[in-house]
Amino acid sequence: MNVTVVGAGYVGLVTAACLAELGQRVVCVDHDQARVVLLQAGGVPIYEPGLDELVQRNQQAGRLRFTTSMALGVEHAEVLFIAVGTPPQEDGSADLQHVLAVARQVGRLLTHDLVVVNKSTVPVGTGEAVQRVIDEALRVRGCQGLACAVVSNPEFLKEGAAIEDFMRPDRIVIGVPPGPAGARARECLSQLYAPFNRHHERTVWMDVPSAELTKYAANAMLATRISFMNEMALLADRVGADIDAVRRGIGADQRIGHSFLYAGTGYGGSCFPKDTRALMHTAAAHGSPMRVVSAVEAVNRMQKRHLVGMVTQLMGEDLSGRRLAVWGLSFKPNTNDMREAPSRVVIQALLARGATVLAHDPVAGSEARRVLTEDMAAQPGLLQRLHLEESPEAVLLDADALLVLTEWKCFHSPDFARLRDLMREPLILDGRNLYDPALLQALGIAYLGIGRRNALGVARLALTAPMQAAAKALRAA
């Protein structure tokens, strides 16, 4: 099948490369000339495991081409995916200008029947709006006889596992409009996604608004689980319970399941924060406020500051002269994505209190430098106390504490003896609950996790004793 994907960003590129891998002839259009030139030369502008290999292989096989020309893209397409950005506006609503601009161009250029598939995350009602824009452009050209159905097919790709998620989907959600054009679109997408439905049907067919809402509902549900566990972790600290045991205990209930129950430093990334806010905006606009989702958002905002609170409890509000080590900057492992990463909040807050911060991330270092420089553009002095280091060990030298912010594999089982020797005071604030508190205690390393019982003891000690005594007391306990 001839497929065009408009947008060579994260979702567009993964969609284009995976569909090419499935044997479709794919043209990927992006208006960013530099990006297209890079892709044509075999380069991939984003970090996603396996993507560069997939892009290169399919390019060489002639199944995947990149262009800036919408005319070429529309002419090529039997199915055209819209996968352009829907960035948040100041009020939290999604900015649809790029999606609607693509629709306008499609309407202006189309000379044959087409199925348009909306992959961008868009508020309910956008499918209809896209349809209206295309129909209007066709009418102006006197081409209203052309059949062009707009379908909603939201993506559920996790960064770092996007190819796997595309190639082995739990489900494929497709919303089709009513009428013959919708039936034809259904036929066409059944054929396109047939390889995923061979053993059992994974496609969940529905109407367009339901598909659009499904995407937001899925992300809001997952974000809710995380904020729920983060809030439960705060309580666990207070009552002397271990959130990790609680997680295992409730996850074993099949009705609950194990995934997305990990307490941590708060969720980040390009989807959960943006989509929960956009959902709240849509809901408010329809007079149906989302009280649960709004609490989820508020809890997450606080959670991002939780580790900073622990540091100040232990060391006081003034952190001048403190050297704090950070492991992990990206919002999650296997990506260099810094969007809404908790590390941004944590590092800025520590620097603002006078600390020197030494940070390491195996992949996101240069992206972090760019983003943090932007974040602190108004306070350039702070950046002088931020050192991004190439190795995880380099940040530990003489550090007063190590904050673990992202659960990269390389941080899972460090050489604790070496860590203890390098640090001024061996103290780990584990924002991802990676380590076994008992093991660290045995090794003489003070440890604070998220909701892991011992936090209570340290917090109490910190109220009455200076930080070093607190850490020593904890190790001796």
DSSP line for 212-264: HHHHHHHHHHHHHHHHHHHHHHHHHHHHT-BHHHHHHHHHTSTTT-STT----
> What is the number of the residue whose Cβ is closest to ligand UDX?
271
Q: Which CB, 171 or 238, lies closer to ligand UDX? A: 171
332 is in an annotated binding site: yes
Structure tokens at 268: 């980040």
Q: What is the CA radius of gyration of the chain?
A: 25
86 is in an annotated binding site: yes
- Residues at the interface with ligand UDX (CB under 6 A): 155-159, 219, 222, 226, 260-262, 264, 267-269, 271-272, 331-332
Looking at 18, 28, 148, 271, which residue is catalytic? 271
Q: Which CB, 392 or 431, lies closer to ligand UDX? A: 431
Q: Are 193 and 203 in contact (CB under 8 A)?
A: yes
182 is in an annotated binding site: no
Name the strand (E) or helix (H) holding 388. Answer: strand 386-388
Structure tokens at 312: 């100040």
What is the residue whose two structure tokens read 């262009």? 67
260 is in an annotated binding site: yes
Structure tokens at 171: 């489900």
CB of 243 to ligand UDX, least distance (A): 11
274 is in an annotated binding site: yes
For 151-208, the three-class secondary structure string (H helix, E strand, C coil) is: EECCCCCCCCCHHHHHHCCCCEEEECCCHHHHHHHHHHHHHHCHHHCCCCCCEEEECH
156 is in an annotated binding site: yes
CB of 46 to ligand UDX, least distance (A): 12
Q: Give the whole-angstrom CA distance, residue 378 versus residue 151.
A: 44
CB of 474 to ligand UDX, least distance (A): 25
Residue 2: strand, helix, or coil: strand
CB of 156 to ligand UDX, least distance (A): 4
Q: Which CB, 262 or 435, lies closer to ligand UDX? A: 262
Structure tokens at 276: 């929960």
Q: Which CB, 172 or 467, lies closer to ligand UDX? A: 172
CB of 339 to ligand UDX, least distance (A): 9
Q: Which CB, 47 or 156, lies closer to ligand UDX? A: 156
The yes-or-no answer on residue 143 being catalytic is no
Q: How far apart are the first and last CA of the chain?
A: 67
| Binding site per annotation, positions | 30, 35, 86, 121, 156-159, 215, 260-264, 268, 274, 332, 339
What residues are annotated to the active site?
271
| Binding site per annotation, positions for NAD(+) | 30, 35, 86, 121, 159, 274, 339
